A and B are shown apart, each in its own frame.
Chain A
């Protein structure tokens, strides 16, 4: 019998599945679609902005107290969030996709650093301790703004805006999803030295499909990698940090990154006049792009690979169409098939279907906002005139996107009476109430921390 059936295969569902499986539970994941991980930047955003806040949050741990009392982070507390993040970092490192503190990047030295994935456990240099816990970093967005990020994949670390070194932003002619001159201009407006260059794609490939995924697949090939290294070395000047669109391979990007870094440090040694200090070599980074996002796809693939190792099945294309509850227990759920509905039975169910973007919540023309699987009570305003604000970029966000499923401290959905609706139903991620993960830049933080907590709540109850 399945101990935990997770509905939703986004970061929340997949990370909760890993957590629960490691805790010894028998876990399955079903989902209608592949989740939204591969739409996002591949960074772990913890808390970038407070509701109403104009300034980015410098340290999320210190900012927790300014969130609404029912915010999922307030239910968890800083320590359990940190635990969840630790677990995530271990998992990612084990999967060959190490994540590090975005604020730490300026302190991460050593010529060998980029050449091999850093495993947190054998990290003896202890550079994590140098940085205040909870401090966010600022990485570069594809329009050149700062992105408040807590953890980033190795490939994005050198983008840190805290670092004073000049930028060279390199794009490719003909690529529609990356504009180096625009990024460089906005960096200059923030007082950074930055210039841009465009490389001809024709030297890399004769294909004419230049989307991010095609380019990433191309750059998994050694021949294209060599060419790219050559071109980048030609374009760069000594001491520059080089930002490229996040297309450096879907499978082998850490290797390409290491080679590019080696080439650039070799070049720096050549070009640096004798006597002047050596430039740090960790000088090349990826800038995320519009969806589909290669860093997001890498993260998704790594988690899936871990789940395969943990013998957890992830089944996509499963749309829930029926639910049976008796009393305070969910008995089973059914998913659509070409013929009769398929029934799934489990001891516990975790709702990780996401918010309006993921499809876990839907608003209709009459102003009803509904949770799509169990029709759970939501905090969302049930009148269309209360959904949206006149300004798209209003810093306060749009109320319809802020509604969700209220939960208790164990992450069980609450009824109108304030008590859990079911004893064996749990909820985590963007479907939760009292948070607007996109406005707050807390999507991954919410996913990881609440997915982790909910999985542990289930495990404790077993």
Chain B
């Protein structure tokens, strides 16, 4: 069995885990991160897309509000290009009028969250599709944030600082050493989910950043962490309905936020308590509720074309009262006492559970050293979560090394804030129209190749997270085939590459790849029958040939992955679009009768399961 030795082992490749790896590596710790699937495959890649100003939580969850505004200011500097500076409106609809807006404005002031009331007529001029019956509007520094890009940028920063990132590596066991009094986590058993290879990682300290899976990971160390999981459903419309993040000015509830993300608007969410972090089912009532509530923000939203539905599971944590002392918060803020403003009930539902971060130092909490859990929080607060986790790690390891992430921009920030037209602008100025693999999201061939070469790619869905492949109106109708072709070609070429170099800062930029990439016409290239994959450099992360010999599997997996998210919302034009996809993949390609390809990828089963959808009571 292969063995790796490290100081800090991070479990989980979401926002939190990559943030922890970045922070720990910057502080000079030898760091390894394991993620059982692709980076951001968990909640981070299924969230609503909002960089919170904190205003949403000012009256309900002041701790979280304070964390959010602090991080909002920092992330605009460290992750500039992952953020579109949309600004946010909190609108008072006819249903919302009571004393909430005044209490809201006062609380924002108290917690130092910039909040300007603007005339409703001004807001309507800026966002003409908003409900014309709104009476008051507050403007706040909310923004839209791309969690895929941010995690990749953070991963690249971590790697540059020396961290080793191992996606498709699942933690399967934790080795404990010592007896009563000096019990410690000393090593981890890890499984490469692509090759089936087992790995032992000896670590001085393990940081559990497994999000909704934190309870399961803690259980491997025989520690009880009771997560409170809240599943939320979101829908994407096929066009941007507003250019500003819209919140209802009321106690947080279901379907009261509309976020413009890239070319779409996303309405969400529900909040259903679930026990299984992999429960991503979407119910009919959830779709209906999102559309009904969406109409209150933008009347007519329910009649717009819906592209897709998805669900994420909030990793919320609510420590039972007795052990309250061992929940660590970061160093007290001036507004630390804000939490006393509205007390939360002893055992809240997930909608009411705090969004503040939870740091569990298991040495103090459970007498188990070498093990820390960091959970709760928001995407917005991932950096702060990482900071407090690594602070606790320093304390356990007996060293003082200050956190540097707040002052260290990740690679790519020089591109400035994201803006909607940036891809189109680059594609046009570089004359790359004919190289588009995905017309909906303006993904060029070079972007796709760059993404596939620069971080491990096992499924096409990994490339979707990298460059937004297949996320537009046709939901993979045209680009699935093309991406398989490009990937197959790329991987049968001789060019050596290191799929673990994580140079992903410009992964989203058509122009950058164009300048970087090989010339489009390289003369007649012949491809000899290549039954055996060509020898190539292997990244330590993953065997890049894993899916080389299975282009058909790549194709089927991605078709099924896209299908899963459209079934709940197929009607009208989107139903028609899927029939076109059938025409392409059945009639033209005959993709359901491809030769000898009964294999499975690590994700095949995931794409096929979990259908409790309104669209499908059939088997």
Q: What residues on B are CB-neighbors of A1 within 8 Å?
A: none
Are B559's CB and A443's CB within 8 A? no
Are B583's CB and A438's CB within 8 A? yes
Residues A95-130 near B (CB distance < 8 A): none
In the bound assembly, the distance between CA atoms of A393 and B431 in angstroms comes to: 37
Are A174's CB and B520's CB within 8 A? yes
Are A186's CB and B594's CB within 8 A? yes
Return the CB mask of B521-536 against A: 1 if under 8 Å, else 0: 1111111111100000
Residues A353-395 near B (CB distance < 8 A): 355-357, 359, 362-365, 367, 384-393, 395
Residues B565-597 near A (CB distance < 8 A): 567, 570-572, 575-576, 579-580, 582-596
Q: Tell yes or no: B400 within 8 A of A by CB.
A: no
Q: Tell yes or no: A80 within 8 A of B by CB.
A: no
A285 to chain B, nearest CB (A): 16
Of the residues B284, B525, B572, B592, contact of A197 by C-beta under 8 Å: B525
Of the residues A186, A200, A392, contact of B559 by C-beta under 8 Å: A392
Q: Which of B173-181, B478-486, B505-513 interfaces with chain A?
A: B478-486
Of the residues A45, A142, A362, A392, contact of B589 by C-beta under 8 Å: A142
Q: Tell yes or no: B614 within 8 A of A by CB.
A: yes
Question: Looking across the interface, which residue of chain A has its beta carbon closest to that of B575?
Answer: A363
Are A36's CB and B583's CB within 8 A? yes
Are A182's CB and B551's CB within 8 A? yes
Q: Tell yes or no: B122 within 8 A of A by CB.
A: no
Contacts known (A384-B614, A388-B618); A438 close to B572, Cβ less than 8 A: no
A401 to chain B, nearest CB (A): 6
Q: What residues on B are CB-neighbors of A45 within 8 Å?
A: 587
In the bound assembly, the distance between CA atoms of A197 and B586 in angstroms comes to: 26
Are A391's CB and B528's CB within 8 A? no
In the bound assembly, the distance between CA atoms of A204 and B435 in angstroms comes to: 17
Of the residues B431, B481, B586, contact of A438 by C-beta under 8 Å: B586
Q: Tell yes or no: A40 within 8 A of B by CB.
A: yes
Q: Tell yes or no: A208 within 8 A of B by CB.
A: yes
B427 to chain A, nearest CB (A): 12
Are B619's CB and A389's CB within 8 A? yes
For A231, A234, A367, A385, the residue with the greatest tally of chain B CB atoms inside 10 Å of its CB is A385
Contacts known (A182-B484, A182-B488, A393-B556); A176 close to B595, Cβ less than 8 A: no
Q: What residues on A are CB-neighbors of B562 within 8 Å?
A: 392
Of the residues B435, B522, B527, B593, contact of A145 by C-beta under 8 Å: B593
Return the CB mask of A214-227 against B: 1 if under 8 Å, else 0: 00000000000000
Question: Looking across the interface, which residue of chain B has its beta carbon closest to that of A439?
Answer: B586
Q: What residues on A are CB-neighbors of B584 within 8 Å?
A: 290-291
Q: What residues on B are CB-neighbors of A357 within 8 Å?
A: 576, 579-580, 582-583
Are B560's CB and A143's CB within 8 A? no
Question: Looking across the interface, which residue of chain A has its beta carbon closest to that of B579?
Answer: A357
Q: Tell yes or no: A150 within 8 A of B by CB.
A: no
Are A184's CB and B527's CB within 8 A? yes
Q: What residues on B are CB-neighbors of A291 within 8 Å?
A: 580, 583-584, 588
In the bound assembly, the distance between CA atoms of A401 and B575 in angstroms comes to: 9
Q: What residues on B are CB-neighbors of A180 within 8 Å?
A: 527
A408 to chain B, nearest CB (A): 26
Q: Tell yes or no: B552 within 8 A of A by CB.
A: yes
Are A174's CB and B570's CB within 8 A? no
Q: Which of A188-196, A305-313, A341-349, A449-457 interfaces with chain B?
A: A188-196
Are A142's CB and B575's CB within 8 A? no
A276 to chain B, nearest CB (A): 23
In the bound assembly, the distance between CA atoms of A293 and B555 in angstroms comes to: 21
In the bound assembly, the distance between CA atoms of A36 and B579 in angstroms comes to: 12
Q: What residues on A are CB-neighbors of B591 within 8 Å?
A: 143, 145, 393
Question: Looking across the interface, which residue of chain A has its beta carbon closest to that of B591?
Answer: A143
In the bound assembly, the distance between CA atoms of A291 and B478 in angstroms comes to: 9
Q: What residues on B are CB-neighbors of A36 within 8 Å?
A: 583
Return the CB mask of B489-511 against A: 1 if under 8 Å, else 0: 10010000000000000000000
Are B615's CB and A176's CB within 8 A? no
Question: Looking across the interface, which residue of chain B has its beta carbon closest to that of A170?
Answer: B524
Q: What residues on B are CB-neighbors of A438 within 8 Å?
A: 579, 582-583, 586-587
Q: Tell yes or no: B445 within 8 A of A by CB.
A: yes
Of the residues B492, B594, B616, contact of A387 by C-beta under 8 Å: B616
Q: What residues on A are CB-neighbors of B228 within 8 Å?
A: none
Are A359's CB and B576's CB within 8 A? yes
Q: Tell yes or no: B611 within 8 A of A by CB.
A: yes
Are B434's CB and A208's CB within 8 A? yes
Are A176's CB and B576's CB within 8 A? no
Are B594's CB and A385's CB within 8 A? no
Q: Tell yes or no: A288 within 8 A of B by CB.
A: yes
Contacts known (A176-B445, A176-B482); A194 close to B529, Cβ less than 8 A: yes
Are B527's CB and A195's CB within 8 A? yes
B31 to chain A, nearest CB (A): 39
Contacts known (A190-B595, A384-B614); A146 close to B590, Cβ less than 8 A: yes
Q: What residues on A are CB-neighbors of B527 within 8 Å?
A: 180-181, 184, 195-198
Q: Tell yes or no: A2 within 8 A of B by CB.
A: no
In the bound assembly, the distance between CA atoms of A356 and B481 in angstroms comes to: 23
Of the residues A184, A208, A235, contact of B529 by C-beta under 8 Å: A184
Are B616's CB and A40's CB within 8 A? no
Return the CB mask of A275-300 against B: 1 if under 8 Å, else 0: 00000000000001111010000000
Q: What residues on A are CB-neighbors of B594 within 8 Å?
A: 143-145, 186
In the bound assembly, the distance between CA atoms of A385 and B617 in angstroms comes to: 5
Q: What residues on B are CB-neighbors of A208 within 8 Å?
A: 431, 433-434
Are A390's CB and B435's CB within 8 A? no
> Which 5 A-B residue pairs are closest in the complex by CB-CB distance?
A179-B485, A385-B617, A392-B563, A145-B590, A390-B611
Partner-A contacts on B (CB < 8 A): 284, 302, 431, 433-437, 445, 478, 481-482, 484-486, 488-489, 492, 520-531, 551-552, 555-556, 559-560, 562-563, 567, 570-572, 575-576, 579-580, 582-596, 608, 611, 613-619
List 7 additional A-B contacts (Cβ < 8 Å) besides A176-B436, A190-B595: A142-B588, A174-B520, A181-B485, A208-B434, A290-B588, A357-B579, A387-B615
A sample of 10 inter-chain contacts (CB < 8 A) reads A45-B587, A141-B589, A143-B484, A174-B521, A198-B524, A201-B521, A356-B576, A365-B302, A385-B615, A388-B567
